[in-house]
Amino acid sequence: MTEPADATPGGVYSSKGKAYTRDTRYLTTRIMRSVAPGEDAVLVEPGRFRLIAARACPWANRAIIDRRLLGLEDALSIGFPGPTHDADSWTFDLDPGGVDPVLGIHKLKDAYLRRDPDYPRGITVPAIVDTTTGAVVTNDFAQITLDMSTQWVEYHRPGAPDLYPLAQREEMDQVMRYIYTEINNGVYRAGFAGTQEAYNAAYDRLFTALDWAEERLSGRRFLMGGAITEADVRLFTTLVRFDAVYHGHFKTNRTKLTEMPALWAYARDLFQTPGFGDTVDFEQIKQHYYIVHRDLNPLQIVPQGPDLSGWLSEHGRDALGGAPFGAGTPPEPVRPEERAPHSILTC
């Protein structure tokens, strides 16, 4: 995500003397298997849409992971903006000439303006763009990944996991809402607090939630039981950034992830599972937060640490049973053109 003009980078409104509020007004057009008359939706069509998802962004990282796990590479192309951007837009700095090879644009903002020439809000990722018009269809990050599971079913790979199992949805929705408000958003609430009081409250609220997750994961391999679901994808993208960025940059420093035994083992279990760690680029993550957030880091110095070798260490979570993909199978190796440039994985 990025920001409107009156917000700090990351889509988070913040000013001195105020607690933070996230702008949650998104383009909510859906891409669906079938569309009823008058519904704000377009039909799924393989090859027509392009997912724009920066590796640096935790919200976009969710969509990158789901696309990998479900095997949607042939149905939904992907473009990767660079990790840094100005106040105007995410940009395609990693592509030759700084231009997305499919959309033919340098700034993602151009696709938003194709949708609405007077678009007033932040230029956020992930976004799905209609390649036939060049316009953004949706940037509703939470719905994008749920629709990947439920609306793109005909294009899932054989053996794709069920990331949003019908029998668990009621509990899952509650778990995911809690993870979003208290953990995913909680780190930002602390990092962009405008007063000491707001920071203290955000800090306490975040670690209350992390303690809940630590307890929940002490007796089960994944959040919903023995197999990976969308809930795990959503928690993972915050955990994988915790020690590298949030612990220091956002002052969420009661404990490191490496000091929370169940969460650290759980995060390593996911990281070493195909589809998770192979989407992560720690270098881009650090560059984004430490360079773009000039209000928090005015000199834009990017720390060299932390040591990342622990992510590849034995996690021991197999002892809890279950199978990451349930009755399914792991995805194929990452395609060469989609590999994270600074991945710490060798496969």
Q: Give the H/E segment covering residue 129.
A: strand 127-130
The amino acid at residue 139 is: N
Residue 4 lies inside a defined structural domain of this protein: no
Q: How far is CA 266 from the centre of its chain?
A: 17
Residue whose structure tokens are 């990050």: 141
pLDDT at 273: 98
pTM above 0.85, yes or no: yes
Classify residue 25: in a domain, yes or no: yes
CB atoms near residue 259 (< 10 Å): 11
Residues 143 and 39 in one domain: yes
Domain end point (choices 104, 126, 155): 155
Alpha-carbon distance values, 149 to 154, 234, 276 (Å): 10, 14, 16
Beta partners for 129? 50, 136
Asked if residue 58 has a cis previous peptide bond (ω within 30° of 0), the answer is no
pLDDT band at 347 (very low <50, low <70, confident <90, very high): very low
- Which token pair is 7? 């917000």
DSSP code at position 292:
I
Please say if the pLDDT value at position 150 is more than 80: yes
Model pLDDT for residues 115-137, shown as the tens digit of each residue: 999 999 999 999 999 999 999 99
Is residue 2 predicted with pLDDT exceeding 60? no
Residues 145 and 171 in one domain: no
Alpha helices in the chain (DSSP H): 58-70, 109-115, 141-150, 169-178, 186-191, 196-216, 230-241, 247-249, 261-271, 282-287
CA atoms within 13 A on the CB side of 325: 19
Q: Is 90 annotated as a binding residue?
A: yes
Distance of CA 213 to the CA centre of its chain: 18
- Give pLDDT tens digits for 155-188: 999 999 999 999 999 999 999 999 999 999 999 9
Q: Report if residue 291 sits inside a domain.
A: yes
Would the pLDDT of 301 be above 50? yes
Tell me whether residue 2 is in a domain.
no
10 Å CB burial of residue 16 (0-12, 13-18, 19+) is exposed
Is 147 within a domain? yes
- The CA distance from 48 to 14, in Å, is 37
273 CB-near residues (< 8 Å, 6+ apart):
228, 324, 330
The residues annotated with a catalytic role in the active site are 57, 188
41-43 and 49-52 as β-strands: parallel, antiparallel, unpaired?
Answer: unpaired
User: 128 and 103 in one domain?
Assistant: yes
Chain-centroid distance, C-alpha 222: 18
Percentage, residues of the chain above pLDDT 90? 92
Residue 343 is assigned to a structural domain of this protein: no
Are 150 and 203 in the same domain? Answer: no
Confidence of residue 22 (pLDDT cuts 50, 70, 90): confident
276: containing domain: 166-338
C-alpha angle 169-170-175 in degrees, rounded to nearest 5: 90
Do residue 129 and residue 170 come from a single domain?
no
Give the end of a domain, one of 124, 155, 186: 155
**277 in Cβ contact with 285 (< 8 Å):** no
Choose one of 94, 121, 155: the last residue of a domain: 155
pLDDT computed for residue 7 by the predictor:
35
Are 217 and 127 in the same domain?
A: no
Confidence of residue 17 (pLDDT cuts 50, 70, 90): low
Whether 192 and 145 share a structural domain:
no
pLDDT of residue 24: 77
Contact (CB, 8 A) for 93 and 304: no
* % pLDDT > 70, the chain: 95
Encode pLDDT of 282-298 as tens digits: 999 999 999 999 999 99
How do residues 224-278 score in pLDDT, each as one tens digit? 999 999 999 999 999 999 999 999 999 999 999 999 999 999 999 999 999 999 9
The pLDDT of residue 23: 77
Same-domain check for residues 133 and 239 = no
Same domain, 105 and 177: no
Find, among 318, 234, 275, 328, the residue nearest to 73 by Cα.
275
Looking at the fold, whether 141 and 179 belong to one and the same domain comes out as no
Arithmetic mean of pLDDT over the chain: 94
Phi, psi angle pair for 57, to nearest 5°: -90, 130
Please report which confidence band the pLDDT of residue 16 belongs to, taking 50, 70 and 90 as the band edges: low
Domains contained in the chain, number: 2
What pLDDT, on the 0 to 100 scale, is given for residue 170?
A: 98
CATH code for position 256:
1.20.1050.10
262 domain residue, yes or no: yes
Whose structure tokens read 């989609």?
338
Is there a single domain that holds both residue 180 and residue 143? no
Are 216 and 183 spatial neighbours (Cβ–Cβ below 8 Å)? no
Closest CA to 128 of 196, 38, 24, 41: 41
Tell me the C-alpha distance between 34 and 5, whole Å: 37
Phi, psi of 221 (to 5 degrees): -70, -40
- Count of helix runs (H) and strand runs (E) in the chain: 10, 8
| Whether residue 173 sits in one domain with residue 146 | no
Is 3 a domain residue? no
